[in-house]
Amino acid sequence: MIDLGRVTDRWRRCGVVVRDLPFGLLLVAVSLLPALHGKGTQVGDLPIRSFDALALVAIALESLPLAVRRRWPAVCLVLVSLGFVLDQLRAYHVLASNAMPIALISAAAHLERHRRVTAVLLSAAYVLLALALDRLGAGEKVEGYVVFYLALALAWGIGVRLRSARAAEAERRRHVAEATRAAERTRIARELHDVVTHHVTAMVVQAEAARYLTAAPDRLDATLSAVTDTGRRAITDLRHMLDLLKADHDTDIGVPAAGGLRTLVEQTRRAGQPVEFTEEGGPAESAGSAEFVAYRVVQEALTNALKHAHGSPTAVRVRYGEKEISVEVSTDGPGSGTASPGGGGRGLAGLRERVEAVGGRFSADRQAGGFLVRARIPAGSRS
């Protein structure tokens, strides 16, 4: 059996000339039918002439150029116009003469340059045709010529309208593409902020602590090893983020590997932050990006704890429910008296946008002696 889907797909892959040619050939075949002789467009009242060799030339000029009406609209319009003039002066009035409005619509819709000049030249050519027909005794009144001219102008206007609609659609698609690229850049920038801020903050805190451990070589060596490990993880995460910018790479950020939260907490502990971690339940298979958003919430909150409440007890509670993932990070330390929990607020603002984008709720508030971050992320949400 013939696969219509495959045939349609192959047809769409053909060039516009190939796809437009069948209509021109069909118009030639129909115009040659004796029953349709004299059924074409008629300007004036000249008696219909029987077919001869020039009639075949007129049919060919009016029909076959329609194959290039989108590829070379100017060529199509010139050839069809010549065929139309020959048809009217010789009074064949073949059915193919109805191709004139089609050529006008195509030219107005697809001509890239000199559209106004083309319209003026066509108008002048029409005046010359009307004068020639009048001299041949067409017997048409001026009103008749004007009405037919307005009909041709209407066809041209339809083409202009189609061109404007196509341009508006192209502009809309361009704006959508730009908005998509901007959203993707924002997403990548947000991920880079989360990754870099957390790792670099941990390294700075560990390096600061190392300055006071020169008298304890064992502890100093462990601290420097932690700095090295954190730097390696930062490089790995950055390499992963940069891979996402490649054109042939899947743009999905991806969910952290199993145990990612525990690894994150352990890294923060090695940076000198006492963290109590509680995890209830486990992520469902349908959690989607919710698990990843929860990871980022914990990561940013722990980064803030390192920045503004270093050494203060911090509690991380993550509960996986059937419908949502609840995250709560609290710090008992005094924090910074001049800064918000997120420093400049950029990290927490990004978290709020991320959580709300998937339909969740987010809050970051000061509490007595510290701060509290809460997030509720719908399970199965998609970023």
154 within domain boundaries: no
155 within domain boundaries: no
Q: End of a domain among 140, 155, 190?
A: 140
158 within domain boundaries: no
Look at residue 335 and give its three-state secondary structure. Answer: coil
Q: Note whether 126 and 180 are same-domain residues.
A: no
Q: Note whether 191 and 105 are same-domain residues.
A: no
Q: Note whether 306 and 243 are same-domain residues.
A: yes
What does the alpha-carbon distance between residue 364 and residue 361 come to, in Å, rounded to a whole number?
11
Q: Note whether 294 and 359 are same-domain residues.
A: yes
Structurally, how many domains does the chain consist of? 2
Residue with tokens 């590829």: 71
Provide the pLDDT for residue 340.
Answer: 38
What does the alpha-carbon distance between residue 63 and residue 95 come to, in Å, rounded to a whole number?
10
262 contact partners, CB below 8 Å, separation of at least 6: 277, 279
Q: End of a domain among 88, 112, 140?
A: 140
Q: End of a domain among 93, 123, 140?
A: 140
What does the alpha-carbon distance between residue 64 and residue 39 come to, in Å, rounded to a whole number?
19
Averaged over successive runs of 10 residues, the pLDDT of the chain (383 residues) comes to: 74 84 92 86 86 91 92 93 93 90 93 90 93 87 91 94 91 86 73 70 69 65 70 69 58 54 84 86 69 86 81 89 89 53 57 84 81 86 50
Provide the pLDDT for residue 162.
Answer: 93
What does the alpha-carbon distance between residue 373 and residue 265 come to, in Å, rounded to a whole number?
16
Helix 290-308 × helix 142-210 angle, to 10°: 50
Taking a C-beta distance cutoff of 8 angstroms, is the pair 51, 35 a contact? no
Provide the pLDDT for residue 365.
Answer: 84
Provide the pLDDT for residue 306.
Answer: 79
What does the alpha-carbon distance between residue 373 and residue 63 come to, in Å, rounded to a whole number?
73
Taking a C-beta distance cutoff of 8 angstroms, is the pair 74, 118 a contact? yes
What does the alpha-carbon distance between residue 383 and residue 198 come to, in Å, rounded to a whole number?
22
Provide the pLDDT for residue 280.
Answer: 87
Q: Note whether 217 and 352 are same-domain residues.
A: yes
Task: Write the DSSP assignment of 107-130 as a string of letters.
Answer: HHHH--S-HHHHHHHHHHHHHHHH
Which residues partner with 315 through β-bridges? 276, 330
What does the alpha-carbon distance between residue 104 and residue 139 come to, in Å, rounded to a whole number?
26
Q: Note whether 344 and 195 are same-domain residues.
A: yes
72 within domain boundaries: yes
Other beta carbons within 10 angstroms of residue 285's beta carbon come to 6
CATH of the domain at 323: 3.30.565.10
Domain that holds residue 315: 176-378
Taking a C-beta distance cutoff of 8 angstroms, is the pair 348, 341 a contact? yes
Q: Note whether 269 and 348 are same-domain residues.
A: yes
What does the alpha-carbon distance between residue 270 and residue 113 come to, in Å, rounded to a whole number?
69
What does the alpha-carbon distance between residue 176 and residue 185 come to, in Å, rounded to a whole number?
14
Q: Note whether 372 and 256 are same-domain residues.
A: yes
Sign (positive/negative) of CA torsion 109, 110, 113, 114?
A: negative
Taking a C-beta distance cutoff of 8 angstroms, is the pair 61, 4 a contact? no
Q: Note whether 215 and 339 are same-domain residues.
A: yes
pTM (2 decimals)? 0.56
Provide the pLDDT for residue 137.
Answer: 86
Taking a C-beta distance cutoff of 8 angstroms, is the pair 375, 297 a contact? yes
Q: Note whether 196 and 317 are same-domain residues.
A: yes
Provide the pLDDT for residue 62.
Answer: 93
Taking a C-beta distance cutoff of 8 angstroms, is the pair 347, 362 a contact? no
230 within domain boundaries: yes
Other beta carbons within 10 angstroms of residue 228's beta carbon come to 12
Sign (positive/negative) of CA torsion 88, 92, 95, 96?
A: negative
69 within domain boundaries: yes
66 within domain boundaries: yes
Q: How far is CA 46 from the centre of its chain?
A: 57
87 contact partners, CB below 8 Å, separation of at least 6: 40, 41, 55, 58, 62, 93, 94, 96, 97
Taking a C-beta distance cutoff of 8 angstroms, is the pair 108, 16 a contact? no
341 contact partners, CB below 8 Å, separation of at least 6: 304, 308, 335, 348, 364, 366, 371, 373
State the number of CA atoms in the 13 A half-sphere of 242 facing the CB: 7
166 within domain boundaries: no
Q: Note whether 220 and 355 are same-domain residues.
A: yes
What does the alpha-carbon distance between residue 162 and residue 44 come to, in Å, rounded to a whole number?
31
Q: Note whether 240 and 115 are same-domain residues.
A: no
